[in-house]
Amino acid sequence: MGTGKTAAAQCLASRLGRPMVDTDAAVEARAGRTIARIFTEDGEAAFRELEAAAVAEAGALRGAVIATGGGVPLRRDNMRHLRRHGLIVALIASPEAILARVGGGAARPLLGGDPAMSVSRLLAERDAAYRDADLVLDTSGLSTEQVADRVLAFAEARSGAAPDGAARVVRVDLGERGYDVHVGRGLLARLPVLLREAGVTGRLALLTHPRLDARYGRALADALRAAGREVATVTVPPSESSKSLRAAGRVYDALVDAQLDRGAALLALGGGVVGDLGGFVAATFLRGIRWVSLPTTLLAQVDAAIGGKTAVNLPRGKNLVGTVHQPALVVADIDTLASLPRRELRSGMAEVIKTGVIGAPDPFEFLEANLRRVLARRAGELIHTIGRCAAYKAAVVSRDERESGERMVLNYGHTIGHGIEAAAGYRGLTHGEAVAVGMTLEARLAVRLGVCEPVLLDRQTALLAAAGLPVRLADLGRARPRGPATILAAMTHDKKARAGRLRFVLPASLGRTAVRDDVPPALLEEVLADG
């Protein structure tokens, strides 16, 4: 309330020549009473039922601009109706701005008593629901026209997101360093055009694995050359050992041999290893050149390719040397997933499920209903799943690029997961498998600490297991580290540890987390021992 939703919707509808629907007005028309009277005479529960009916009716429309009440996102069915044909924009404002706009809240049923305290409480309670929007826009210092300008600019950079196989474009909004994430089929064939649209000029280096070069890289290089681009191909082995300073040195030498200058760009075609290595090399070669991420694994398409975190490993830990260097473009062609080994596809599901737990509940629920179709690589379900996860991560990165606050939530499952990987010597298990076990153990910690209810742990465990992922250390077989002590030792070197204290992102409920650095060592050892 008080963020300017109705005025902004009217302005947008006028500019676009589209109908405008206000669900609050629809409720009042249907009930023949004001919302304040409905609250007084029938109570909030009755109002929410009328509101849900109005939202369902509005959500069935195509081409409309819909302004809703501030409590609409609290019901997931409401959000499903609204996502059918459009984007979700959450307008927020500071408590001070809201109070100034609502004039003390006399006509607002939810602001009884102390309006200032009520506003702060409502914002806190609804934060997770609002963050699940495609765009979160603070209107505190903006005019209605400025709000409309920003929403239109965002909408123009995006395409539809229905699970029907349509391509999707997600914007990572970082000002001048912002970029698009394209998700769809046949996108590698369009890369010459996409590069031109993104302003990526100059010579190109294509970094990939030998197998991927044979399957996709050579055809891609030929298409680029046919478009008049100079391309040099560099290959590295398809293993975690390629994420090293030694491997980076070999790539540097190849780029020098190819005579790349500061106007050149590096294309990283592959999964997380190639993306991390390619981004790190691009960030440090000639003090930084542009790079483009072409992820070919599910894990990379939903997570690793977005956000600009680049790194290589040291023998004592994962991702200990790196920097944040945003790509100029991300192109996630789901056709490349056709050749992905089934184990790697399942591994990527860990990051999808993680996204659903920490901040975007609808991918979690979508997977519960459509997991078989996603694992069968159905185009519509894949694009929908990848697009929603990419949109969530893009929104988090846009608000916290360098992990100074909110972006930390993306580390759920990784504090223990990275410890498992390092203790196993990065052999015999995939990153997603380690994260799946890490998520399970960290959720057990949350239950033991009273942060979340056991039902969330049960739902998460059931979905991970249905995706074919391990949920216990024993499930890792020969890759299982020898005893909790080896995992704990590896965790102490993790970059998420501060002043010797391990920080855990723990699930509180679906879509809401808590960051804790006070987990008792004895409890952590006990959970690892039982895992």
Is 496 catalytic? The answer is no
Sign of CA pseudo-dihedral 127, 130, 136, 141: negative
User: What is the C-alpha to C-alpha distance for residues 97 and 177, in angstroms, rounded to an integer?
Assistant: 30
Is 351 catalytic? The answer is yes
CA 442 to chain centre: 20
The residue from 325, 346, 373, 414 that is catalytic is: 414
Contact between residue 494 and residue 418 where contact means Cβ atoms under 8 Å apart: yes
User: What is the C-alpha to C-alpha distance for residues 121 and 95, in angstroms, rounded to an integer?
Assistant: 10
> Would you list the DSSP string of 175-190?
GGG-EEEEEESS-GGG
Helix (H) or strand (E) holding 519: none
The residue from 403, 421, 433, 442 that is catalytic is: 403
Is 407 catalytic? The answer is yes
Look up residue 383 and give its amino acid. I
The encoded tokens of residue 374 equal 């996603």
The residue from 28, 351, 381, 433 that is catalytic is: 351
Helix (H) or strand (E) holding 205: strand 204-208
Contact between residue 27 and residue 21 where contact means Cβ atoms under 8 Å apart: no
Burial class (CB in 10 A: 0-12, 13-18, 19+), 342: exposed
Where helices occur in 266-378 by DSSP H, the ranges are 272-284, 298-299, 342-358, 361-375
The residue from 62, 176, 246, 287 that is catalytic is: 287
> Would you list the DSSP string of 340-367?
S-HHHHHHHHHHHHHHHHHT-HHHHHHH
Closest CA to 411 of 293, 485, 279, 318: 318
Is 5 catalytic? The answer is no
Is 373 catalytic? The answer is no
Whole-angstrom distance between the N-terminal and C-terminal Cα of the chain?
Answer: 46
The residue from 431, 444, 480, 512 that is catalytic is: 431
Helix axis angle for 521-530 and 431-448, nearest 10°, is 120
The residue from 418, 444, 480, 512 that is catalytic is: 418
Is 431 catalytic? The answer is yes
The residue from 407, 444, 480, 512 that is catalytic is: 407
Is 403 catalytic? The answer is yes
The residue from 373, 393, 444, 512 that is catalytic is: 393
User: What is the C-alpha to C-alpha distance for residues 53 and 78, in angstroms, rounded to an integer?
Assistant: 9
Is 37 catalytic? The answer is no
Residues belonging to the active site: 287, 309, 351, 393, 403, 407, 411, 414, 418, 431
